[in-house]
Amino acid sequence: MRFLVLFLFSSLVFAPPPLQTVTYLTDVEGILPKYENFFANNDSFEKGPDRKFHLKPGAAFVYGGDSIGRGSGAYKIMADLIRLKEESGENVAILMGNRELWEMSGAKNIRPKTGVPGELWMQQLELNAKRIAKKKGGDVQQIVQELNTPKNRKAFAIRYAFGDPNAMEKTRDEIASKLGKGISEISDLMVIDQIILDHSNNGRVAEFLSHGQIAARFGNTLFVHGGVMKEAIKQVPDKTELFNDSGKWIGELNSWYKGQIAAWRKDPTVSISEDGAMEMVFGKNSDAYNNPILPDQETIDWLMGNGIRRVVIGHTPTGEAPVIIRSANGFEVISADNSYAANESLAHQITFKGPGFSTADISFEPLSVPGINGPVRFQLTAGEKSLIGKRLPTGSVVVAKVELPGKETQYVTFHLGEKFAEQYALVPESVLSKEQLIDPVKPHFCAPLGKLGELADSD
């Protein structure tokens, strides 16, 4: 009896506190200042004696994918995300984005360093050799051998393997910094050797991918990288069964991913599927200009039938503010990739709290919205009646509520044009409430802002 009492007492004393908040960051793409800006301004983390940020008790953290990409801090970011995952376990979810999964195919195709050329590398060599033979003459296989040089393998790794034209120079900078040498002292062969080592079955990239997952759910919110669409829900690659229970579906999907990574670490020629459920990583709920649109009604009905009222995504750049789109029956999507924004060292702050994590606390720094100087912060609860998340006749979406001193309530409207051209307006509530707002269900190809934007600017 005494041992039972002691066991129950220790369980109560040492049990982790219940989760109170879930905070979210996505699509840092190797830009270390953005990553550091997020943690320095987020209440869910505290700085320890080791000068690193640690997740507070009662908080969870979701990283939404695409840690790798355009910046030179990818490896530091990946290492830090692994640390956070190992410290906090299930309270940290690292979602895989398209850029992480591209690394798998990249690793497959830089294998010529080991003497076993990857499929695409051989295809490229033979194609170039045939062109040369046709133009100048000569034996195709002999030309293939002549082209199969470290220099050409380097060019292949850059152009085909990772889709990152700066991969070589980023790695060169890292090696130089680590060795305390000048950039010119780091040869191309040293760089390509490091890239191959990083993408080996026990390299840094493989270690990071092993800590990842495809989807995460906290309360009534589902987190994925790309989007949720009819072609993806209920499905798990390599399985014919449809999973109508969302919890079972998410669990099976993440288990399948773990199996794929384990297989890839044993055999780098394994390729991960991009079909079916993987549309949640590679797909988009957006129009041709990348303006977010709601999933189809069948998908929304299935999600809400499973208690999911909100989906949070990255993947598609949406300017300086997170874009919220909402349906009439209380479903919403938050799209929060601010890649290519005016200042890419600033991160959105998005934290979910309250019963079922239903309330989104959002803050961002708009640099291109006329009439706003400084950060914007507002809260929105799933199912709450609001103008936010609706579409205007111009095609713009209402994305934020702003309270300015001495003025009536204002709203930020936004849409993307060609080549991610962002257009914002600050619209008074009295003007916006007279507009015929609709759910952003179907694609709407916007012209530049018309009368509504002009009226808002003149108010």
> pLDDT by residue (tens digit) across 416-449?
877 667 788 899 999 998 888 888 876 654 443 3
Query: What's the pLDDT band for 289 if we cut at 50, 70, 90?
Result: confident
pLDDT of 8 > 50? The answer is no
The pLDDT score that the predictor gives to residue 452 is 35
Q: Tokens 């991918």 label which residue?
A: 209
Q: How many CB atoms lie within 10 A of CB 17?
A: 9
Among candidate residues 29, 103, 31, 24, the one with its CA nearest the CA of residue 315: 29
> pLDDT by residue (tens digit) across 178-213?
899 999 999 877 887 888 788 777 888 889 999 999
The pLDDT score that the predictor gives to residue 70 is 82
For the segment 373-392, the average pLDDT, to the nearest whole number, is 90
- Greater confidence (69 vs 382) lies with 382
d(CA 444, CA 249): 32
**In degrees, to the nearest 5, what angle opens at C-alpha 285 toward C-alphas 84 and 85?**
5
pLDDT of 152 > 50? The answer is yes
The pLDDT score that the predictor gives to residue 115 is 42
d(CA 329, CA 452): 27
Query: What's the pLDDT band for 155 if we cut at 50, 70, 90?
Result: low
Query: What's the pLDDT band for 453 if we cut at 50, 70, 90?
Result: very low
Stretch among 278-292, 304-318, 336-350 having the lowest mean pLDDT: 278-292
- Greater confidence (435 vs 3) lies with 435
The pLDDT score that the predictor gives to residue 162 is 58
d(CA 26, CA 99): 12
* Spatial contact of 403 and 241, defined as CB atoms under 8 Å apart: no
Query: Would you list the domain boundaries of the chain?
Result: 16-103+209-386, 105-201
3-state secondary structure labels for all residues of the chain: CHHHHHHHHHHHHHCCCCCCEEEEECCCCCCHHHHHHHHHCCCCEEECCCCCEEECCCEEEEECCCCCCCCCCHHHHHHHHHHHHHHHHHHEEEECCHHHHHHHHHHHCCHHHHCCCCHHHHHHHHHHHHHHHHHHCCCHHHHHHHHCCHHHHHHHHHHHHCCCCCHHHHHHHHHHHHHCCCHHHCCHHHHHHHHHHHCCCCCHHHHHHCCCECCEEECCEEECCCCCCCCCCCCCCCCCCCCCCHHHHHHHHHHHHHHHHHHHHHCCCCCCCCCHHHHHHHCCCECCCCCECCCCHHHHHHHHHCCCCEEEEEEEECCCCCEEEECCCCCEEEEEECCCCCCCCCCCEEEEECHHHCEEEEEECCCCCCCCCCCEEEEEECCCCCCCCCECCCCCEEEEEECCCCCCCEEEEEEECHHHCEEEEEEEHHHHCCCCCECCCCCCCCCCCCHHHHHHHHC
> pLDDT by residue (tens digit) across 76-88?
999 999 999 999 9
Q: Are strands 310-317 and 221-223 parallel, antiparallel or unpaired?
A: parallel
The pLDDT score that the predictor gives to residue 395 is 84
The pLDDT score that the predictor gives to residue 445 is 45
- Of the CATH numbers 3.60.21.10, 3.30.110.60, 3.20.20.70, 3.30.1240.10, which one belongs to the domain with range 16-103+209-386? 3.60.21.10
Estimate the crossing angle of helix 140-147 against helix 119-136, to 10 degrees: 120
pLDDT of 273 > 90? The answer is no
User: Mean of the per-residue pLDDT values for the chain?
Assistant: 83
Query: What's the pLDDT band for 457 if we cut at 50, 70, 90?
Result: very low
Task: Give the pTM.
Answer: 0.84
The pLDDT score that the predictor gives to residue 398 is 93
Q: Tokens 């108010």 label which residue?
A: 459
